Amino acid sequence: MFNPTAEQMPKEALRKLQSKRLQQLVRRTYDHVAFYRERMQEKGLKPEDIRSMEDLAQLPFTTKTDFRDQYPFGMFAAPMREIARIHASSGTTGKPTVVGYTKRDLDVWAECAARSLGCGGATADSIVQVAYGYGLFTGGLGMHYGAEYMGAAVVPTSAGNTEKQIMLMKDFGATVLCCTPSYALQIAEVGMAMGVDMMSLPLKSGHFGAEPWTEAMRMRIEEMLPLKALDIYGLSEVAGPGVASECLVQNGLHVFEDHFYPEIIDPATGESLPDGEKGELVFTCLTKEGMPLIRYRTRDITMLLKEETCPCGRSSRRIARLMGRTDDMLIIRGVNVFPSQVEDVLVRIKGVHPQYVLVVDRQGNLDTMEIKVEVTESLFSDHVRGLEALRADIHHQIKTVLNVNAKITLVEAGSIERTLGKATRVQDLRRLN
């Protein structure tokens, strides 16, 4: 669904709307959320001090730790009788972050998710197969209600049961696939193993998110499935899928900034950075009622692209594809390493599957890194000399690009555990030693 009123809004009109919504947001949080009221009072701020978007930088940041300190409902600005749905993060690194939505919040989210699908050309005539997980995770329900909002037919398969996914994809004629990029690859692999001509499917677009992925993985997916692989962005604290999305031009993700205002800051100092400079992505949710959010530090690393109208016709700001996270960066003997950098090297090497695990450990006082990577069945069964040549090639390219001396372990195709949600790419054993 393309919403020209919002997605082609003149800059001056958009800024006026954002400023009005920011004033309303600040007043709501000050009156109904003790956490924000106390933070603003510490800065000597009152709601009337915030009059336009130029005043946003005066407001305090919000972090994931703040959510956990206010667990479960301390960040809510609406009474429970007005909360229509509750979502939460997985909580794998502590207490989950809990998010409440009013009925209006859900309507806004559905409309923004529909815009995401519209960025890929989906219409009311589309058949959308949603292979994200359903439940507390926002991916499945977010894309489901977005597709329904635009009038498309939804096939709510959720994640898993991959052979049945492929059967339904064929029989129902799905034209849009929504899942994690790693699961899209798994679908393609299983389909080929079943003898299905995956390139003959009527798929047109794939909307992939929930985990970082590289341009090289996009190319691999598009080689294995007959679709345009599009990056979408959402996070449980802000909203699920529907915060930003690539269009068919595939040059940055359009932020639906009438609802979600983006900033890029220096993660060390908190200072705002200009367009084109890499930093941490920060969002302010301008219209949320159930759980308003001011200057939330996402920990995702990206940049704001030059402000200009995209060839697709949308004038909204775009962010670059995510380059990693401040919290998944590994430091190996003083060298900063992001898993996405390793992936970008691996997927470009012939004979290598885009399935890998980084095992980080410590021997004595020195950090070590092992990269376990799958290779094709034909290559793995080939002469040992061929495997050694491949191992040496991977080692050389990792050393050249990342400046890390890693141990390379080649494993058989299918031996690295697949997940139905976010792929687990790192095993950091240093914390156990």
- Please write the tens of the pLDDT for every residue from 320-376: 999 888 877 788 877 878 888 888 899 888 888 878 999 999 887 778 999 999 988
Residue 308 lies in a domain: yes
Least confident residue range of 29-33, 248-252, 275-279, 410-414? 410-414
**Higher-confidence residue: 32 or 340?**
32
Considering the domain architecture, whether residues 336 and 271 belong to the same structural domain is answered as no
Q: What is the pLDDT of residues 282-319, one digit of tens each?
A: 999 999 999 999 999 999 999 999 999 999 999 999 99
**Cα–Cα dist 361/41, whole Å:** 45
Backbone angles phi, psi at 108, to 5 degrees: -65, -45
**Cα–Cα dist 283/45, whole Å:** 20
Is the preceding peptide bond at 79 cis, omega within 30 degrees of 0? Answer: no
Structural domains in the chain (count): 2
Considering the domain architecture, whether residues 310 and 391 belong to the same structural domain is answered as no
Average pLDDT score over the chain = 92
Q: What is the pLDDT of residue 43?
A: 96
| Residue 21 three-state SS | helix
Please state whether beta strands 407-412 and 366-375 pair in parallel, antiparallel, or not at all (unpaired): parallel
Q: What is the pLDDT of residue 433?
A: 53
Least confident residue range of 93-107, 314-328, 408-422? 408-422
Considering the domain architecture, whether residues 141 and 250 belong to the same structural domain is answered as yes
Q: Where are the alpha helices (DSSP H) in 360-423?
A: 377-380, 384-402
Q: What is the pLDDT of residues 137-187, one digit of tens each?
A: 899 999 999 999 999 999 999 998 999 999 999 999 999 999 999 899 989
Q: Where are the alpha helices (DSSP H) in 33-161?
A: 34-42, 64-69, 103-119, 138-149
In this predicted structure, the answer to whether residue 92 has a pLDDT above a threshold of 60 is no
Residue 202 lies in a domain: yes
CATH number at residue 347: 3.30.300.30
**Higher-confidence residue: 111 or 332?**
111
Considering the domain architecture, whether residues 143 and 110 belong to the same structural domain is answered as yes
Residue 287 lies in a domain: yes
Q: What is the pLDDT of residue 331?
A: 80
Q: What is the pLDDT of residue 129?
A: 98
Q: What is the pLDDT of residue 298?
A: 95
Residue 58 lies in a domain: no
- The domain boundary, picked from 325, 346, 361, lies at 325
> Which pLDDT band, with edges at 50, 70 and 90, does 381 fall under?
low
Residue indicated by tokens 């001396």 = 405
In this predicted structure, the answer to whether residue 5 has a pLDDT above a threshold of 80 is yes
Residue 219 lies in a domain: yes
In this predicted structure, the answer to whether residue 76 has a pLDDT above a threshold of 90 is yes
Considering the domain architecture, whether residues 193 and 104 belong to the same structural domain is answered as yes
Considering the domain architecture, whether residues 284 and 344 belong to the same structural domain is answered as no
Q: By residue range, what is the domain housing residue 140? A: 99-325
Considering the domain architecture, whether residues 319 and 334 belong to the same structural domain is answered as no
Residue 70 lies in a domain: no
Considering the domain architecture, whether residues 314 and 194 belong to the same structural domain is answered as yes
Considering the domain architecture, whether residues 418 and 307 belong to the same structural domain is answered as no
Q: What is the pLDDT of residue 233?
A: 96
- The domain boundary, picked from 264, 299, 325, lies at 325
Considering the domain architecture, whether residues 172 and 268 belong to the same structural domain is answered as yes
325: DSSP letter: E
Residue indicated by tokens 């530090």 = 297
- The domain boundary, picked from 279, 300, 325, lies at 325
Considering the domain architecture, whether residues 337 and 232 belong to the same structural domain is answered as no
Residue 231 lies in a domain: yes
Considering the domain architecture, whether residues 297 and 336 belong to the same structural domain is answered as no
Q: What is the pLDDT of residue 56?
A: 98
Q: What is the pLDDT of residue 202?
A: 98
CATH number at residue 164: 3.40.50.12780
Is the preceding peptide bond at 72 cis, omega within 30 degrees of 0? Answer: yes
CA 212 from centre of chain: 6
Q: What is the pLDDT of residue 386?
A: 79
Residue 265 lies in a domain: yes
Contact at 8 Å (CB) between 220 and 242? Answer: no
